[in-house]
Structure 1
Amino acid sequence: MDLTVLYRGPLASCDYDCPYCPFAKRRDSREQLRADRDALERFAGWAAARQPEDRLSVLFTPWGEGLVRSWYRRTLAELSRLPHIRRVAIQTNLSCRTDWLAEADPDTLALWCTYHPGQTPYDRFLGKCRELSARGIRFSVGIVGFEEHLEAARRLRADLPEHVYLWVNAAEGRDYTDEEAARWTALDPLFPYSRHPHRSAGLPCRTGESVISVDGDGTVRRCHFVPAELGNLYDGSYRAALRPRACPLAVCDCHIGYVHLESLPLYDVFAGGVLERIPASA
C-alpha cells in the first residue's frame, strides 16, 4: 500500500511573530513540548515499523516551527534513511541550523520553506537556501502574496538558483485584481491555483483513500480541514475506512488540501514533488 500522511502534532509555538499568523510567538510550556516530543516519537516508531511493501510518504505540517526542536530534526533524518519511506518533508521558516542535514538522505528528505520578510534578515535566509543547495537538499521557497512582500519576492527570484521553485500563497481573504495577480504570476506561474478557493463539494479527492491526516493522538482524518474521524493510526482501525470519496466541503483554499483534488491536474504538475511543492519542471 502506498500512503501519504500529513502529520500535525500538538506543537504550536513559533520563533516568529508574523502579524497574519495566529500562532506567532506563542510559547509552549515544558509539558506541552514534552507531549509533542512523545507524540512525534510514537508516530516515528509507527512509520519505521511499516512493512517493506507499505510505501510511505510523510509531510509534517506543524502549527509552529518544528525544526528548531531537536526531535523534529532527528525524526526527519532517521525516517529519510529508511528504504520504505518514499519522501519525508516538513514546512519550515528555515530559522534552524542546517548541519543536521548531514545525517539525512538527500534523495528522500525535502523542505518546504517560507520566507517571512521582517522576521529574519534577507541575507540570512538566502544564506540558508544556499546551504541547502550545497548539501543537495530538495527544497522549494515561498512567500505570502502581500503587496508589501512583492519586492522581497522579486529579489528572491533573482537570487535563488533558477531550478528552485518560488511559490506564492495568496493572502487569506485578499481579492486580487487582474493586474495584481499578473505581478505575482510573473514570479510564480502557478499562482492562479492559489488566487481563488477551489470548488470541491462532491468532487473526488485522494484524501481519505491514499492520503490521510494524523494528529498527535493518532486520530486519522481524511485531511486537516475535514473533522470527521476515520479511526486511529495505532490500532489500525483507520484502514477499513480508506476508500475513494468526494469532498464534503464547499471549497478548498489551502494548497495542502486542494493539491489532492482529482479535478485539478496538480499531481501531474508536481509529479515527484507533491509534498515539498516542487513542480516536475523545476
Structure 2
Amino acid sequence: MTVDLGMPGPRPAETPMDLTLLYRGPLASCDYDCPYCPFAKRRDSPERLRADRAALERFTAWATAQTGDTLSLLFTPWGEGLVRSWYRQALVDLSHLPHVRRVAIQTNLSCRTDWLAAADLDTLALWITHHPGQVDRGRFLAKLRELAALGVRHSVGIVGEPEHLDAARELRADLPASTYLWVNAADGRSYTDEQAAAWTAVDPLFGWSRDPHPSGGRPCRTGESVVSVDGDGTVRRCHFVRPPLGNLYDGSYRAELLPRPCPLPVCDCHIGYVHLEGLPLYDVFAGGVLERIPHGW
C-alpha cells in the first residue's frame, strides 16, 4: 500500500536549482599528525593522488558547465587539499564562475597563500582549523595576516580538547575581533557546565556544538537543496547518510531532490546539523554557512 505523506513529488530534471554541494574525493593524506585524527600523517599512493586529481578536475568541469543553476561549493577532504596544486587551481577557477555563489574548503592552512591573489575573493572563502602542537602559533598567525592583507574571507577554529583550551584562549587574544574563532566539540566528549562555559568564552556559539542534535524524523535541507558528492560522482543527501540519490554526471540525482526527514537519531557534525531546518543556523550564519562565519561578525 502506498501512503501519501503530502510531500512534493520529484523535481523535474530541467528545473534550475540553487544547490549546495559538499565534495569529498579520494584524497585521504595529511601533513599533520593530530592524535585525534585517523588520517594523521597518512600518505596517498601516486595512483590515488592521480585518481583524486582526475576526479576533482571532472567535478570542476561539471560545475563549470552548470550555468543554468546557482551553486555553492564546499570541499571537505579527509586529508589536506591545499598542499595539492589541483585543489588550489580548482578554487581559483571556480571562484570566477558567475553562477558560483561561494566556493570554500576546509584546510589547516599549511600551504602557501600567494595563489589566492588569482582568485575572485568575493566568492572564495576558507574554513581554517588550527591544530596546536602541529604548527608554531607565530607562523600560523603570520599566514592569517597574509590572508587579511589579501582580503581573503575566512574563519578559524580549534577542536575542544581539554589540552587545547589555553591555546584557544591565546589564539582568540591574538586574532583581530573581526575574525570568528569557532570551537568544535571533540568527538565523543561530554562537557560539564563549567567546561562548556570556558569554551563559550572563546566561542560564544559553542553551545551549538556542545551536544549532538536530535535529528531523527526531523526536516533537513540535505537531500533537497544540499547534497554530498564523492569522487565517482555518487550523490548522497549528506556525508553521514549512505544510501545514494543517484549520480552527478548522468543527472540521475536531480529527480531525487525532495524534502526528506533525517533517518539518523542524532547529528553531531557542524557540516550536517547546520542544515537542519529546526535550528536557526541559516540565520546565525547567513551569508557564511559554508565558511562558518556568523552573520554580522
- Indicate the TM-score class for this superposition, using the shorter chain for normalisation: over 0.9
* Residue 48 of structure 2 corresponds to residue 8 of structure 1: no
Q: 2:173 pairs with 115, 135, 158, which one?
A: 158
Q: Which amino acid aligns with 2:229?
A: V
Shift of 1:161: 1.2
Q: 2:128 matched to which residue of 1?
A: 113
Q: 2:224 pairs with 190, 202, 209, which one?
A: 209
Q: 1:39 matched to which residue of 2?
A: 55
Equivalent pairs counted in the alignment come to: 281
2:134 & 2:201 partners in 1: Cα distance? 25
Q: Which amino acid aligns with 2:70?
A: R
Q: 1:239 matched to which residue of 2?
A: 254
2:277 & 2:158 partners in 1: Cα distance? 26
* Residue 46 of structure 2 corresponds to residue 30 of structure 1: yes
4+ long deviations beyond 6 Å: none
TM-score normalised according to structure 1 size? 0.99
Q: 1:225 matched to which residue of 2?
A: 240
Q: Equivalent residues in 2 for 1:59-208 (5 A)?
A: 59-208=74-223
- Percent identity of the aligned residues? 78
The DSSP-based 3-state class of the residue aligned with 2:62 is helix
The DSSP-based 3-state class of the residue aligned with 1:140 is strand
* Residue 272 of structure 2 corresponds to residue 257 of structure 1: yes
Structure 1, gaps ≥5 residues long:
none
Q: 1:268 pairs with 256, 279, 283, which one?
A: 283
Shift of 1:281: 2.2
User: Larger Cα Rg: Structure 1 or Structure 2?
Assistant: 2
* Residue 65 of structure 2 corresponds to residue 49 of structure 1: yes
Q: Which amino acid aligns with 1:143?
A: I
Shift of 1:159: 1.0
Q: 2:8 matched to which residue of 1?
A: none
1:250 & 1:150 partners in 2: Cα distance? 30
TM-score normalised according to structure 2 size? 0.94
1:38 & 1:145 partners in 2: Cα distance? 35
Structure 2, gaps ≥5 residues long:
1-16
1:244 & 1:129 partners in 2: Cα distance? 39
Shift of 1:244: 0.7
Cα offsets for 1:35-65 (capped at 9, x unmatched): 00000000000000112x3000000000000
Shift of 1:97: 0.1
The DSSP-based 3-state class of the residue aligned with 1:90 is strand
The DSSP-based 3-state class of the residue aligned with 2:183 is strand
